[in-house]
Structure 1
Amino acid sequence: MTESSVRGAKPEKVRPGGRGAGAPGWMVPTGLIMLSAIPVVAGALRLGELAGGPTGDPADARFFAAPLPVVAHIIGASLYGIVGAFQFARRFRRRRPAWHRMAGRVLIVCGLVTALSGLWMTVFYPRPEGDGDLLAAFRLVFGTAMAVSIVLGFAAVRRRDLRRHRAWMTRAYAIGVAAGTQAFTQLPWMLLVGPLTETPRALLVAAGWFINLAVAEWVIRRR
């Protein structure tokens, strides 16, 4: 290479989130996958218990009596959390629009299965100790909000209103992966105070949903 060619060469610009940025483009999806890993692992353990047969624990009897809703909820929520995280990788989404559309269809089904099975379990499963009326009310509100957000997001993309589509799907995902956040909202109480009673448990579980939705609204407005 000659000296003139070196002098004439222009330094390559590194765009934010581009190839030169490396990890930042995947930081958000990676964080979401890590957050989703908490309920995914818990769900896998629950599926293992169901496959092994009745345990004799009265709290688990409801799952063995009607296993389909909880199995559908675990599988739907796990796929929704893991696959949905990749929808937040902007460069990946733009480079593979066909994958984004295909994954989006899968996520709509998984999200609705997650929300509707959660509503069914709240209404029809016997409540375990520590789950009171307040927690059931929160679950009904946020489960319904998740299902409505997915339907509105789907309707928006059918109208090619991508801004509203992204906003509603972001809200639905925030509600759907709140189980990971709820683990962190409840853990300090259990470590510092002890076992959770009905009202603190309900409020701390709701805090996970509120935190996720607050972050989702910040992301939507930042866009």
Structure 2
Amino acid sequence: MTPSAKRDWLVPVGLLMLSAIPVIAGASRAAQLAGGATVTPDNARFFASPAPVLVHIVGVTLYSLLGAFQFHRGFRGRRPGWHRVAGRLLAVCGLASALSGLWMTLFYARPPGDGELLTGFRLVFGAAMAGCIVLGVAAIRRRDVARHRAWMARGYAIGMGAGTQVLTQLPVMLLIGQPSEFVRAMLMLAGWVINVVVVEWVLRRRTARPARTRRTGEHADVLAGR
């Protein structure tokens, strides 16, 4: 494998690692529901209405794992058919994940440690994720590839917030134990914000790169007297 090919795998592998904990947690929850685990105050809402959480688990799992490969340039370039088929599935899974998350936030009993502030954050980012996916699909239907990639990347970044939230919460829990409702809400917010900031930084770099290339070419033309 060439150095360039290895670099192309850095982002997909990193995203797969980031999604590992939420995917494992979702699989564990699904196994509990299928295996008839003991009902506790923490999981009673899932047993009372299992369909939304199962839709959410399947949607998130496919969206996070399959979506990671959409960031590999080789898959997009050498396998355009795969990219289109996977993209359609990702749009469905992403919307299923976002909408089921909104449903659970609105209609499930609020779990311990989740206050009104965190509920508001969940509603805002769940709606934003769904909106990004809809805008991404609308853009590609107009053949606007640049905006399609940007909106889909934003939606994926929000969806991957669950992975980053593990990283924002774990050090605090190890140091001080279970955080308060306010601190937990801010740590969850930090996970979403970090992902959004990173994807916007990457998108701005990609937008600025062609402009720099054009300016360099124009400058070379001037020096050459063309």
2:12 to 16, 19, 29: 29
Q: Report how far residue 54 of structure 1 moved.
A: 4.4
In structure 1, give the amino acid aligned to 2:203: I
Gap change, CA 1:194 and 1:20, over 3 Å in 2: closer
Alignment partner of 1:118 is 2:101 = yes
Structure 2 residue 190 is matched with structure 1 residue 213: no
Distance 2:124 2:3 in 1: 43
Offset at 1:19?
4.1
TM-score (norm 2): 0.89
Q: CA deviation at 1:51?
A: 0.9
Shift, 1:120, TM fit = 0.1
Q: 2: distance between equivalents of 1:168 and 1:61?
A: 36
SS at match of 2:168: helix
8 Å CA contact 1:29–1:89 kept in 2: the answer is yes
TM-score under structure 1 normalisation? 0.90
Match of 2:143 among 145, 160, 171: 160
Structure 1 residue 222: Cα displacement: 1.3
List aligned pairs for 1:190-209, cutoff 5 A: 190-209=173-192
2:158 aligns with 175
- Number of paired residues? 206
Q: What RMSD, in angstroms, separates the aligned Cα atoms of the two structures?
A: 1.1
Residue of structure 1 in register with 2:26 after alignment: 43
- Aligned-pair CA distance for 1:204: 0.2
The letter of the residue matching 1:125 is Y
- Say if 1:54 and 1:61, in contact at 8 Å, map to a contact too: no
CA contact (8 A) 1:54 1:64 kept: no
CA distance in 2, matches of 1:55, 1:196: 26
Give me the whole-angstrom Cα distance separating, in 2, the residues matched to 1:155 and 1:128. 36
Matched to 1:168, the amino acid is: W
- Report the CA distance between 1:129 and its aligned residue: 1.0
Q: How far apart in 2 are the matches of 1:110 and 1:104?
A: 10
Change in 2 beyond 3 A, CA 1:54/1:91: closer
The corresponding residue for 2:122 is: 139
Query: How far did residue 168 of structure 1 move?
Result: 0.3
User: What amino acid does structure 1 have at the position aligned with 2:41?
Assistant: P
User: Alignment identity in percent?
Assistant: 64
Paired residue type of 1:113 = A
Matched residue, 1:11:
none
1:129 to 98, 112, 118: 112
Give the corresponding residue for 2:46. 63
Q: Could you say what secondary structure the match of 2:113 adopts?
A: coil
Amino acid at match of 2:92: V
Kindly state the Cα deviation for residue 20 of structure 1 after the two structures are TM-superposed.
4.7
For structure 2, which runs of at least 5 residues remain unmatched after alignment?
207-226
